[in-house]
Structure 1
C-alpha cells in the first residue's frame, strides 16, 4: 500500500505532535511553517519554563460553544499519555502547585529540542518561511499553494495554524481564511487569557503594585468565576494569573454589551466582619497615629492613599477619631474593592484565542472536517480554549495526536 502524503500547516505544538504521530503511522509528512523555525510559541509558554500539561486536567477546564467537543481528544491522548510521550523523548517531569507540569530542567527549550530531534530522526520534512496562501482540492487530493508560488500535493491536510493570540509567534488568523474557503464557519474570536482594562483615574498611582489576593468576576450581582494568587495593578488595569483566568468570561460579558464587575479582595484571609474586629483592635494600639500611617504594615503602602480617597476618608485623620462606620468602610474595601471592566489588552498580550472553527463542523473522534474529506484541524484554531495552567498545551497535544493518527490512516 502506498503511504499517505500528509501536509501539516503550522509548526506549533499541535502541528509538531500531529507530524510525529502521522510519521510513526507510516505517512509521508511535510510541515509548512511560516516562521524561520518551528515551535516559536512553545518557547514562551510557562514564562519560558513550558507548563506543558496539568495533572488535574478535566473537561471543565475547557471552553467554547461546545466545550464537550474536547472530551474525545483528551480521552484518546490525555495527561498520562502526554507525560509518558515526553518521558520517552527525554523530558523528566516536575509537578508544581495546582497540578502544573513542567520539564524537570524548567526550560521550554528542552521540550522544543526533544521534539525537533524526534522530527529529524523520523525524517519529517520541515519547510520554514512557508506562508500558505491557498488550498485547493480535487479528486486526486489537495494542492497547497504558498505565497511565493511554491506548491505541495497531499492526500490529507491538517490545519494547525493557531489563532490570533501572540501574533509575534506567527498566529495572524490565516488559518481561519483557509478554512472559510472550504465552507467552514468561524465562531467569533477574542482574547482568551489576557490582562483586563479597568475604569479608574487612580491606576497610574498604583502601577506595579502586586498583592496576593482573590479576584472575583461578578455579573448582575452573581459570582461568575473566582481565583486566588498574585494580582498585579497596572496603569491600564490589572494582570496576574487570577485575572487571566477570569478574562475570558469577562470579555464574553462585554461582547454581549453588558458590564462585568471585578471584585478584588486585597485581604482574603479574613471575612469583612473579622477584619472589622481586627482593625478596631489594631487601631486601639495606635490612637495617636493618622490613618495613613496606621495602615502601614497591613497593606502595600502605595495602596493606602488611593484606598482612603476611594472611601472619602482624610488620610490625616487621627485613628482615635475614626467612627465604627469608617472602620467598616476600610474593612469593606480591603475585602471587596470593585472595579468596572472596560476591555482588555490586545492580541499581542493574549496567551490564547477564544473562538475559532465551529466544532459542529468537525468530527470530535478524528478531528476531520465534516465538510471536506481529508481535511483535519488541531490546536488553537478550533473553538476550544483552556484555562491558564497547561490546559491549552494539553489540548494542542491531544488534538494534534488525534488529527495526526487519523490523517495517516486510509
Structure 2
C-alpha cells in the first residue's frame, strides 16, 4: 500500500517564519511556562507556518479569517511525533491565535488582524475620555459607565440635542422595572455624569442631570461586615510559606488586614512605591488620591520576603504577579478577592459575612476603632473623603453602644 503521507516532512519546518517561531518560544520561556507547554505552543506555531506555506498565504494576506480557515482545514501535516492530526482542536487553535498576536505585536503582520472592540458612540467615547483625564476615575469604572450609557441609548436616542426631562426620567423608570435598586442607582449615577458632560460641552439642554431621579436607599444603614481579629490572624497564619504562592498570599493578606487597602491598591502597587528607608508605602486610590502610609513591621517583612525569594524575575515594576506561568501582573480585583477566598477556606472559616478583599478592609477599620484610634485617624488610613463613611464602622462596638443607649420611653420594650 502506498504511503498517503509520502512527501510530508517527518518534522515540520517553519520555513521563513522559523526565526519568529524561535522568538515566540523564547518569549514563552521568559514567562516561565513549563517545557511541555512551550513545546506545545511552538509546535502549534510551526504547524501554522507550514499550513500558510502549503496554502500559499503570504504574511501580508493574513487577516481575521485566516485563523478560521486554519481551524476548519483537514490537516494532512505530520505534527511532532509523526502522528497525523486530522482534526484541529479548539485548544490548538487558541495556541495559534496567541502566535498570531505575537506576530501582530511585533508588526510582522498588520495590527488589524488583532480583535477590535465594537464601534462605540462618539459621544460616549468622548465622555470616557473626559472621565479618565478630568475625573481621575479608574479604567474599570470608566468601562462600566460606558457600557451603561450604551445600554440606555436606544431609549435616550443618539441625538443629545433632543434630550428632555421627560425622556431622561422615563429612561430610568423603565430601567427600574427590570433591574435591582442597586443597579439602577449605579446606572443613574452614570447617566447623571453623562448629562453633566454633555451640558459642559454644549451638546444638550442645561440642568438635565436634575431630571435623573434619586434611587431611595438608606445611607450606611447596614452593619459593617468584618472578621474578628483572631480570625484574621488565623487567616494569615495558614499561608504555606514553603511555596512562592503562599509567601505572596501572606504579603497580600497582611497589607489588606493592616492597612485596609483595596484590591485595586494591591494590583496597582509598584516597587517604586515602597520606601524601605522611611518604612512607608505610597498608595494611589480612588480619584487618584495619593497618600503615604506607614508600613507595619509584619507587613513590611512579608513584602520583603516575597520580593527577595518568591517573586518571579520579570521585567515589570508591579509588586504582585501571578504565581504560575505566564508570570504577569494581576488582571483584576477578582484575583485579589480570590486570595482572600482561598485563605478563608484554608483557615476553615465558613461563616465569613463576605469573601472578598473588602472583608479585610472592614476588619482593619473595626479593629483600629476598638483599639482606641480616633475616627479621623482611621479615615486617614482608609482614605475616606467623608467622616460619615468612617463613622459607619463605629456601629460595630456593641458594648459601647449599650452603655450609651437610652431606655425606651415609658419602660415599654419595642
TM range (shorter): under 0.3
More helix by share: 2
Higher relative contact order (Cα pairs below 8 Å, separated by 6+ residues): 1
